[in-house]
């Protein structure tokens, strides 16, 4: 078990080893690629100084706020669009024509509207997460088997109860897959909006360290953000599989 895990991650260990050795023996310039151990000690320094924690907390607050707003509004809009033909006709042309828009384009407008602080970041993340959640909830809710809805109605359930107890659970697999996409987008928007403006957050910390030429710490920041994004996805995947266990 453990041995198999070690064999599985060995390529990563190999790369880390190469990363440590190459700058030390002069294959690459250590200024440009600080060895792994230097990055690790810079990471420890950032952690101890508290920079990593304060900026990390600020980033996590922004990303959770934007994502949560996007999920709530997006699910509501998507399910209502699928449930009421009038809402569908009014909203879906707009949603479908905005969907292919590259989400990063909205960051400058959000900065104009909400300033340089957390507001513009949360708004950018919200806007980016909204459409994937809307469309997946819409498709999921429309894909619920009609016979289930008819049976529930025939057994005397009110339309509202059918909506909550048949349509929403039936759409859940697709909604949750949409949220996973939104999670990935939220980190992209978080990091890029923090790179662009502001005085807080991990993206800011990374670009501040990079501008100052403290490259080992900058690498530590980049790896921290990547690790947070990676684990967020893994935890969500675990949660998703647990929630959807009743399906099969």
Cα radius of gyration (the chain) = 23
Cα 37 from chain centre: 29
- Residue 225, interface with another protein (CB under 8 A)? yes
According to CB under 8 A, which residues from 228 to 247 bind another protein? 229-230, 233-234
Cβ nearer to another protein, comparing 50 with 85: 85
Q: CA-CA distance, 110 to 117, in Å (whole number)?
A: 10
* Residue 105: φ, ψ to 5°: -65, -20
15 in contact with another protein (CB under 8 A): yes
Q: Considering beta carbons, is residue 37 or 92 the nearer one to another protein?
A: 92
User: Closest approach of Cβ 18 to another protein, in Å?
Assistant: 13
User: How far, in whole angstroms, is CA 50 from its chain's centroid?
Assistant: 24
Give the x-and-dash track for 194-223 against another protein (CB under 8 A): -xx------x--xx--x----x--xx--x-
188 near another protein, rule: CB under 8 A: yes
Question: Does residue 18 bind another protein (CB under 8 A)?
Answer: no
- b (16+ CB within 10 A) / e for 145-171: eeeebeebeeeebeeeebbeebbbebb
154 binds another protein, rule: CB under 8 A: no
Footprint of another protein on 73-112 (CB under 8 A): 85-86, 88-94, 97-98, 100-109, 111-112
CA distance 161 to 50: 49
**Alpha-carbon span 234 to 180, nearest angstrom:** 10
Site string for another protein, 111-150 (x = CB under 8 A): xxx-------------------------------------
Interaction residues for another protein, span 25-84 (CB under 8 A) = 32-33
Q: Which residues contact 90 (CB under 8 A, 6 or more apart)?
A: none
Looking at residue 197, the DSSP 8-state letter turns out to be S
CA-to-CA distance for 188 and 128, rounded, in angstroms? 9
DSSP for residue 104: G
The distance of closest approach from Cβ of residue 228 to another protein in the complex, given in angstroms and rounded to an integer, is 8
106 vs 129, beta carbon nearer another protein = 106
> Residue 42, by phi and psi: left (phi above 0), alpha (psi -120 to 50) or beta?
alpha
Considering the complex, what minimum distance in angstroms separates the CB of residue 123 from another protein? 13
Q: Given the rule CB under 8 A, which residues bind another protein?
A: 7-12, 15, 32-33, 85-86, 88-94, 97-98, 100-109, 111-113, 184, 187-188, 190-192, 195-196, 203, 206-207, 210, 215, 218-219, 222, 225-226, 229-230, 233-234
């Amino acid at each position: 078990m453990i041995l198999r895990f070690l064999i599985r991650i060995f390529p990563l260990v190999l790369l880390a080893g190469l990363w440590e050795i190459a700058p030390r023996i002069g294959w690459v310039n250590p200024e440009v690629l600080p060895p792994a151990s230097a990055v690790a000690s810079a990471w420890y320094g950032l952690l101890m100084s508290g920079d990593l924690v304060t900026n990390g907390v600020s980033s996590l607050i922004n990303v959770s706020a934007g994502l949560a707003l996007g999920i709530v509004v997006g699910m509501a809009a998507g399910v209502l669009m699928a449930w009421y033909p009038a809402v569908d006709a009014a909203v879906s042309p707009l949603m479908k024509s905005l969907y292919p828009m590259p989400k990063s384009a909205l960051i400058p407008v959000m900065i104009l509207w909400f300033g340089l602080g957390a507001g513009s970041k949360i708004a950018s993340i919200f806007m980016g997460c909204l459409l994937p959640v809307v469309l997946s909830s819409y498709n999921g809710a429309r894909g619920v088997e009609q016979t289930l809805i008819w049976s529930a109605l025939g057994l005397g359930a009110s339309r509202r109860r059918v909506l909550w107890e048949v349509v929403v659970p039936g759409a859940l697999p697709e909604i949750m897959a949409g949220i996973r996409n939104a999670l990935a987008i939220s980190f992209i928007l978080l990091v890029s909006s923090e790179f662009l403006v502001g005085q807080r957050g991990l993206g800011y910390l990374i670009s501040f360290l990079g501008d100052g030429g403290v490259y080992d710490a900058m690498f530590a920041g980049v790896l921290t953000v990547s690790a947070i994004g990676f684990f967020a996805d893994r935890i969500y995947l675990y949660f998703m599989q647990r929630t959807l266990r009743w399906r099969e």
